[in-house]
């Protein structure tokens, strides 16, 4: 069964459409990975688009036009590119830019900014890039940082691809800390991420194996695997159909398929087709019942 919500979200699709536009004619460099999906990055390269790891590789850029990825970037980064003479195109997801705006608004109201997310993730780096001071919290082990910093009024936002339950639990714990007087929290997990997490949570009740499709460096795809772990359902994270293993399907009757927000439809379809092929082969060679997916 396919999850009721899966695959490419509007922010990712808009970014791809922009980068694939005919107006660039091989005169475009993307600063980082447009989205965390290997097939899309390969398509971009085949279309003549160049990629560099980040702003630190600015000297390697050979094109006049550059593009900010769907994960967003600090205004400071965009300004640095413009000052260097590049024409900057912005493919930032509007829901990511909402986080930037939200946390800056909290700072203006004298709340100390806290981001729940992965400190080394490009989205989080963009969110905090224009802030003078901040904290990034990724789990309960990081809560002591709040006590050490001694900030009593906290403004909290979340990386858009975090797990809903995790964020809400962390905010509850932070609010209960005796060193914190006030918390202003805006849940900035994006709706497509929420929809996919809810869909895989519901589907997990109906299957005995889940295949999760998406880039291995995709934060929101990893969160879908975590949802399966919480439901105690066997899950395998793959990037393409070639990574499927027949052994996974032994003694399995109902297979679920989900995919992260950067995973294109054609990749999902290829995986679905390959699983059906594996099911047919197993049906012929074993006495196992048919696999439904």
Write out the catalytic residue numbers. 123
Give φ, ψ of 218 to 5 degrees.
-85, 115
How far CA 291 is from CA of 102, 203, 249, 275, in Å, comes to 47, 16, 8, 9
In angstroms, the CA 149 to CA 166 distance is: 22
């Amino acid at each position: 069964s396919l999850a009721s919500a899966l695959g490419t979200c509007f922010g990712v699709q808009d970014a791809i459409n922009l980068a694939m536009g005919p107006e660039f004619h091989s005169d475009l460099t993307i600063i980082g990975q447009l989205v965390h999906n290997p097939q899309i990055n390969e398509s971009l390269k085949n279309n003549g688009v160049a990629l560099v790891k980040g702003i630190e590789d600015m000297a390697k850029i050979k094109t006049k036009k550059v593009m900010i990825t769907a994960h967003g970037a600090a205004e400071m980064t965009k300004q640095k590119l413009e000052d260097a003479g590049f024409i900057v195109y912005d493919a930032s997801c509007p829901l990511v830019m909402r986080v930037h705006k939200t946390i800056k608004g909290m700072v203006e109201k004298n709340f100390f900014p806290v981001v729940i997310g992965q400190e080394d993730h490009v989205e989080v780096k963009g969110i905090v890039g224009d802030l003078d001071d901040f904290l990034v919290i990724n789990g309960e082990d990081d809560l002591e940082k709040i006590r050490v910093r001694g900030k009593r009024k906290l403004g909290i936002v979340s990386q858009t691809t975090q797990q809903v339950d995790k964020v809400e639990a962390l905010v509850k714990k932070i609010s209960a800390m005796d060193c914190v007087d006030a918390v202003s929290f805006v849940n900035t997990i994006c709706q497509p991420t929420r929809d996919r997490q809810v869909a895989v949570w519901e589907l997990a009740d109906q299957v005995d194996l889940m295949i999760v499709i998406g880039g291995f460096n995709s934060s929101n795809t990893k969160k879908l695997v975590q949802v399966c772990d919480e439901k105690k359902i066997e899950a395998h994270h793959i990037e393409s159909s070639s990574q499927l293993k027949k052994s996974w399907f032994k003694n399995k009757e109902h297979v679920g398929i989900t995919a992260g927000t950067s995973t294109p439809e054609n990749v999902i379809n290829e995986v679905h087709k390959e699983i059906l092929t594996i099911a047919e082969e197993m049906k012929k060679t074993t006495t196992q019942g048919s696999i439904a997916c």
